[in-house]
Each structure stands twice: as C-alpha cells, then as structure tokens.
Structure 1
C-alpha cells in the first residue's frame, strides 16, 4: 500500500501475492486473528488485514477502486486525494513500473506480511525516498526513526493517530522525511553499503532466511 502526499492511500499489487478484492478482504479480516504472533516472539505486530481494514475505514468517504492498469494510471495523474484500492487479483502493476510508481507516493503503508513480520516492499520505498509508515521500525539495523525517516505506530489506534498526523503535514515536512528515507537507504541498505558489510573481516556467516535473523537492537 502507498499513501500519496499524506492524502491518498493505495493498495499495492506487490504487497500481497494473492490479491484480495474489497468483499473478500472483509471476509478474510473476520476470519483471521487480529493480533498475530509477532516477530517470531520478539516483536508484536498487528495483523496485516486489520491494518488494511483500519486504513479503509479511515478513508471511508475518500475511496477510488482501480480494476485495470489504465484506470490506475489515470488516478495517479489526477488530483484525487483519497484512498485508491487496487484489486491485484484482477489487475497487477507491471513489475518494470513498480519503483517508478512507488516513487510518486510520499508515504508507503508497509503492513506486515502474512507470515513475515515486515513488508519487503518497505526497503523499496526507502530506495525511492517514499516514507514508510510501519509498526516494526526496530527490525531495521540501525532502527528507523519516527519523524526522521519513517512514521511509526503501535496497534490499530496508533495507526489511526499516525494517519491523522500525516494528513496535517505540510510540503516541507514531507520533503524532509522523504530525504531522510532516501539517505537511510543509501547509508545502510544500498548495494555499495551491502557489499562493504559483506567484505568486513568479521563476517563469517550470512543468514538468507528471515526466521534465522535477529531483530535490531
């Protein structure tokens, strides 16, 4: 999901491989636990469907639905300020256009995955300078900082407060946060930095699986 200019929220076709329409999403939300087991017992996070449901409710009177790529492109070029819902079961944004499209947004609502504690698209949002809105800033190493390179929240009520806070931000504050997100990526997550870290003499083991990783201090 991404939030454009603190005003428009959109469901990302890559945030979930399954793709749920409005009605199916609502049914799923009722079936799943609102609170999941957290980051393998280390970091409690709110169930992704509960986060999506809360965002849908927050923008209840400001929702557009895009069921084709052409419709989505039209929305991104419009002055619409609200919630844009993309049913990825009906239409997917072409992969080659993903980063460019993501960069058009000022904010990215990075709900946790269905089995993983984080949205992997969050790293992509940092790469293009789109501010992540997330519940697991401490998973990053070093941890992301609220009000510097991200907006953080705790639980559904916390998300609602953060969305309200975001709505009141002016252009200069948003630009400062976007710069902070981009700088964080360049300093800690970019290809050059990753290679530098891998080449350090004290690196003897590389974990490729999230379930083997430890949360950031």
Structure 2
C-alpha cells in the first residue's frame, strides 16, 4: 500500500512538471492554426491522435486549452491518445498566437457511428465525411510513415500478407454484423494451397534468390516473423498484391493503408472495399472477391495472369487513391471542406463504432 502511494505521488509530480513545461510552450506564429474544443476525445482514442497528427503534419499549430485534471487523463489513460501530450511541441494548451482565421473542431461536429451509412443509408456519403483509416499511430509518431520507397522497381507477381493471426482475438469480428471472412479463416484457406509460403526473415524476400517466390501466397505471420514497422513499406513494395485481412472487430485495418502507400494492389473482400471511402473498385484500384469460392476462382484463373500494362494501371490508381484520400494533407483538406460545409464527420471509435450495430 505504501509503495503504491509513493508511486502515485511520483507520477503526480512528473505530470505536474510536464504540465508546467507545456504551459510555457508557445508555438511560433503560423497562419495555419487548429483550435480544439473537445470535451470527450477519449471516445475516439487513437483516431483522435491521428486526426490531430495529420493537422500537425500539414503544417498547423494546434491549440488545445485544458485543465490539469484533463491533461493527466489524456496523457496517461491511453497510450496512443496520450501521444498528443507526450510528443514534443505537438500542441499548445494556451491560445497565444492563435491566428484570426483558425479552424475549430468540437464534439458536435463528429460522430463515432462510423458504419451508420453502410448499414442503414445505402452507403451514400453526400452529406458527411468519413475520416479514413491510416497507418499504425507509431508510424507517424516515429516519423517513418513517409520514408522513401521505390515504387517503380520490379516486383514479385505474388500476394503478400503480414500481421497477427491470433485465433482468439481475431474471431471477435464474427460476433458483429459484418459479413466478412476473418483473418484466421483466410489464413486456413491459404495454408491449404500448394503456393503458400510462410517466411521467417526479411532476407527471405530481399535476397537475390527470390524468383522461387513468384506466383506464391507469402505470409509473414507475427509469431514466426514480426515485421519491424520501419521495414513494412519497403517489404510491401516488393509485391504486386497485398491480401487485406480484416481487423479485430471491423473490416478496416491499418495494413491496407500501408500497402496502398507503395502502390501494392489490395486483394480485398467486397464488404471491406465498401467501407473504404470512396469505395475501392474491382480491377481499377483493387481486386475484389465476394467470398472464398470467388477468391479461389480469382486465384486460379485471373490473379497471376494480368498483363504488365494492367498491373501498372492498377498500381497507378492505387497510388493516386492514397495521395488523394489517405495522405495526411489530403485528409486535412477534406476535413476542412467538411467543416466549412457543415457536414457531419464520422471518426472511428473502433469497438465503440461497432457497438452501434450490435
């Protein structure tokens, strides 16, 4: 009990010092300013951090006035949301130097009911804006999200897939209203194929003897090969196709954004493609399958028979989609347009967004 009390006092002192230091921070004057008046950013956890990060990356000064109690709550309760107060010079808790033509965001502009349009409104997006999925937060936090990658190099005409395939965690999606194949089911499906390859090292892909990996289904399963974040986009750029597995409780997962950022073509289930806004399109910027039977047909009859011209066309469209809708500056432009036109903005709240449909 005494040790716990001492630790609480130590944390309190650390927070007091961090708060005092932040109160002294005044960002240099900037014509691009964002004023944040959010009472409940915790609702959106990592996605709130990502939205503010996109404004920062787009050259905005961020102003978020708050009390010490709110500071402590935001800083310590969620490791991703806490980044807004742990990253150096991320935001100011004062309004000093706030320009006259600032952008303001508040709770009333946003909704966590991210999938309402999909399930109840014919998937139309005319009077709203869905803030898109993005890389894993640490990709931006560690400043590795835009590392230079050669997207024009010769690629393996294969499927690449990576990530966690824990059977317990990734079966939760079966208890939602989404009608998608779980990643564990997808893994079982591909494991039965002769072309399935499970890799264990980065060198399995980057070595000079990779011709044997052509026209294969290549998986980097986390327990065998936990791909380092700094290697992700470079590894993805070695392949024509990326198998897009759904997340824990919803189709959307950061892996698809990481793949599209280097022009790797998504191989994706129809329902997943339709909760990307704008929707991905078959043979335009994705290869879309309806179910495992359809996927099997695509694998055996189409996927590895596309011409170089067709692959180049789809890759170009994938990169254009990323640049127009998923890049931080593009997202901020769409956010600002939505704010100006008073559109409702849907921001992911992960489990909370899915609960609206259960």
Give 2:323's aligned residue: 186
Pick from 121, 136, 139 the counterpart of residue 255 of structure 2. Answer: 121
- Map 1:1-217 to 2 at 5 A: 5-6=156-157, 8-12=158-162, 15-16=163-164, 28=167, 36-37=174-175, 40-41=176-177, 43-57=178-192, 60-74=193-207, 78-80=210-212, 81=214, 82-135=216-269, 136-164=272-300, 165-200=302-337, 201=340, 202=342, 207-210=347-350, 211-212=352-353
State how far apart, in whole Å, the 1-side matches of 2:277 and 2:161 are: 27
TM-score by length of 1: 0.75
* Conservation of the 8 A alpha-carbon contact between 2:232 and 2:258: no
**Offset, 1:203:** 5.0
2:257 and 2:183 map into 1 onto residues whose CA distance is 17
Secondary structure in 2 aligned to 1:96?
helix
The whole-number CA distance in structure 1 between the counterparts of 2:181 and 2:190 is 13
Assess if the C-alpha contact under 8 Å between 2:204 and 2:210 holds in 1.
no
Paired with 2:223 and 2:329, the residues of 1 have a C-alpha distance of 36
Give the match's secondary structure for 2:211.
coil
Gaps of 5+ in 2: 1-154
Deviation at 1:120, TM superposition (A): 1.9
Output one character per residue of 1:72-100: Cα deviation in whole Å (capped at 9) or x when no partner. Answer: 4337x511222333342133222111111
Shift of 1:105: 1.1
* CA contact 2:190–2:196 (8 Å) conserved in 1: no
Query: Which piece of structure 1 moves more, 139-148 or 79-88?
Result: 79-88
How far apart are residue 184 of structure 1 and its match? 1.0
Note closer, same or farther for the CA distance 1:205–1:180 as it changes in structure 2 (3 Å cut).
closer
The structure with the larger Rg is 2
Distance across 2 between alignment mates of 1:171 and 1:98? 24
Q: Separation in 1 of the partners of 2:206 and 2:314?
A: 25
RMSD: 2.8
Q: Distance in 1 between matches of 2:279 and 2:261?
A: 16
* TM-score (norm. length: structure 2): 0.48
Q: Is the 8 A contact 1:65 1:86 kept in 2?
A: yes
* 1:27-51 Cα deviation digits (max 9, x unpaired): x59xx97x924xx42x411122222
**Greater CA drift, 91-100 or 103-112:** 91-100
2 CA distance for matches of 1:183 and 1:9?
21
Q: Does the Cα contact within 8 Å between 1:54 and 1:160 map onto a contact in 2?
A: no
Whether the 8 Å contact between 1:52 and 1:111 is mirrored in structure 2 is no
Equivalent in the alignment of 1:24: none
CA shift at 1:204, angstroms?
6.2
Q: CA deviation at 1:188?
A: 1.4
